[in-house]
Amino acid sequence: MTCRSLRVRLGVAAAISISLALLVAAGGLIMLFELHVERRIGAELKAQLDQLAASVQIGAEGQLEVVPTPVDPRLEHPLGGLYWQIDDETEPKQQLGIARSRSLWDSLLRLPSDELEPGTVHAHRLAGPNSGPNGQSVLVRERLILLEHDSGQRRLRLITAIDANELTQARNAFAADILPYLALLAVLLGLATLAQIRAGLAPLEALRRGVGAVRSGREQQLAANYPDEVMPLVNEVNALLAAREQAVERARAWTADLAHGLKTPLTALSADAERLRTEGNRALAHDLDQLAEAMRRRVDRELIRARLRSGAATHQAQAEVGDAIERLLRTLRRTPFGECIDWSVDVPQPALAALMPGDLLELLGNLLENAAHWAKQCVEIQVQSGDPIQIRISDDGPGVPAAEWPRLGERGLRLDQGTQGSGLGLAIVRDVIDAYGGGVTFGRAAIGGLEVRLRLPGTFSRAASEPAGARR
């Protein structure tokens, strides 16, 4: 398949769409997961903040005490990832980290200056070299509480923080976990797309088969059981077929009228030739006979072509090759140029060709007449049944130069201008062969003259059910 194929185009479009959709879905899921984890971490930090607020008190001598201290193993290990800190913002002197977790060690959490209302929780994300301990990025929750003491009111800023790398690690782990499922989803979507493309293009394949049936003569028009989207095209094709049929019928009628109109002049011309022969003018009579014969052959050829174009060459056609050859030989043996020929015939029985009987007679008649005309003493006919049927007709005449073999069958071609004839016999052979999807080649016969090799479709040949144009 090429880039002009609808399957390729739809497949590429689907692959791009699926890839973009999965990328957006992956990004959205990871972002939602990160937000969810961040909310959970925020809830944990707020719980730590509430626990810290419940533990803070002022001692008898005005010192700050945290009893009991928040319990979490990470708080006891330096740079453990979870931290708390208390800043004293009582005017006039402010102190950072008057109490802090063991995990901070000798570091301090330095938050941006913001106005806090007592009880309000603020959230921060600190990043950079002066953010968390050892340069860690941290998620922070802070809260301002007011404690009353004999010496006055104390403003304490409570801070809890957690290493933001935990959020990053959770996000990356989630992304790694969903990648196999996204890959499986991509495969399933790809298979579903292929099935959808196949189902969507199935009407076009059915339409192709329908057109093939019409072209082969099995059907006259396309059926009306196609999807609604395809029916406008089907209706147009049926209208075109109807118009074509009318045009063919008009052409056949015109050809038949022409042939009928020429019968009377040809009959009169033959009568004139006979009258001249009776009067002793044999040369002129002979010329008139040849002219009348050439005109008859041309009319016959046009009638054959009109019949072939009308679709008469259908797959139901059937003719027995042996019977056709026998009928032709009975006629040729009574002609001046055929009665002295030794006819050697080898025809198996049966040999059924998928041709109309009249077309087979016209085809073989032209070839046998041509062979008898040029043969010296002998004409050999060999038939091999099968599919296709092979027919060889050889004569012992002068033959044809090899350079001229490809030209044999051209309209009006006469290689020997010194002999009588119209040059239409082999052209008619070409027309019939092409209409039925057969083949014809020329070569040197073993007995010295021209050998014609025919390939005709058998009665079970697929070629018989398709016109030649469908295979070109």
Domain CATH number, residue 28: 3.30.450
Residue 196 in domain:
no
Q: How many domains does the chain have?
A: 3
In this predicted structure, what is the pLDDT of residue 309?
59
Same domain, 105 and 161: yes
Last residue of a domain, one of 260, 291, 312: 312
Average pLDDT over residues 63-68: 88
pLDDT in tens, 251-260: 777 777 777 6
Query: Which has the closest alpha carbon to 313: 326, 321, 322, 304?
Result: 304
Residue 421 in domain:
yes
Residue 245 in domain:
yes
Range of the domain at 83: 11-169
Residue 347 in domain:
yes
Assess whether pLDDT exceeds 50 at residue 108.
yes
Same domain, 389 and 290: no
User: Where do the H-state alpha helices sit in 6-129?
Assistant: 6-55, 73-76
Residue 147 in domain:
yes
* Contacts made by residues 373-376, CB under 8 angstroms, sequence distance 24+: 373/337, 373/419, 373/421, 374/398, 374/449, 374/450, 375/341, 375/449, 376/449
Domain containing residue 258: CATH number: 1.10.287
Maximum alpha-carbon separation in the chain: 163
Same domain, 326 and 232: no
Tell me, yes or no, if the pTM score tops 0.85.
no
pLDDT in tens, 170-211: 999 999 999 999 999 999 999 999 999 999 999 989 999 988
Same domain, 103 and 240: no
In the sheet with 138-149, reading across from the earlier edge strand, the strands are: 95-100, 82-88, 152-163, 138-149, 121-126
User: Where do the H-state alpha helices sit in 217-317?
Assistant: 231-278, 282-309
Domain containing residue 429: CATH number: 3.30.565.10
Residue 227 in domain:
yes
Pairing of strands 342-346, 64-66: unpaired
In this predicted structure, what is the pLDDT of residue 356?
84
Residue 2 in domain:
no
Name the β-bridge partners of 65: 57
Same domain, 302 and 357: no
Distance of alpha carbon 227 from alpha carbon 206, whole angstroms: 11
Same domain, 24 and 59: yes
Last residue of a domain, one of 277, 312, 347: 312
Higher pLDDT, 300 or 182: 182
Last residue of a domain, one of 282, 312, 342: 312
Same domain, 26 and 156: yes
Distance of alpha carbon 297 from alpha carbon 428, whole angstroms: 10
Confidence of residue 265 (pLDDT cuts 50, 70, 90): confident
Q: Determine phi and psi for 383, rounding to 5 degrees.
A: -125, 130
Distance of alpha carbon 407 from alpha carbon 185, whole angstroms: 62
Same domain, 76 and 221: no
**Mean pLDDT of the residues in the chain:** 84
Same domain, 334 and 296: no
In this predicted structure, what is the pLDDT of residue 460?
52
Distance of alpha carbon 96 from alpha carbon 461, whole angstroms: 99
Distance of alpha carbon 444 from alpha carbon 116, whole angstroms: 111
Same domain, 151 and 267: no
Give Rg (Cα) of the chain. 50
Residue 422 in domain:
yes
Q: Give kind and range of the element (H or E) at residue 344.
A: strand 342-346
Structure tokens at 134: 């050892």
Same domain, 246 and 323: no
pLDDT in tens, 25-62: 999 999 999 999 999 999 999 999 999 999 999 887 77
Whether the CB-CB separation of 132 and 152 falls below 8 Å is answered with no
Same domain, 333 and 226: no
Assess whether pLDDT exceeds 60 at residue 219.
yes
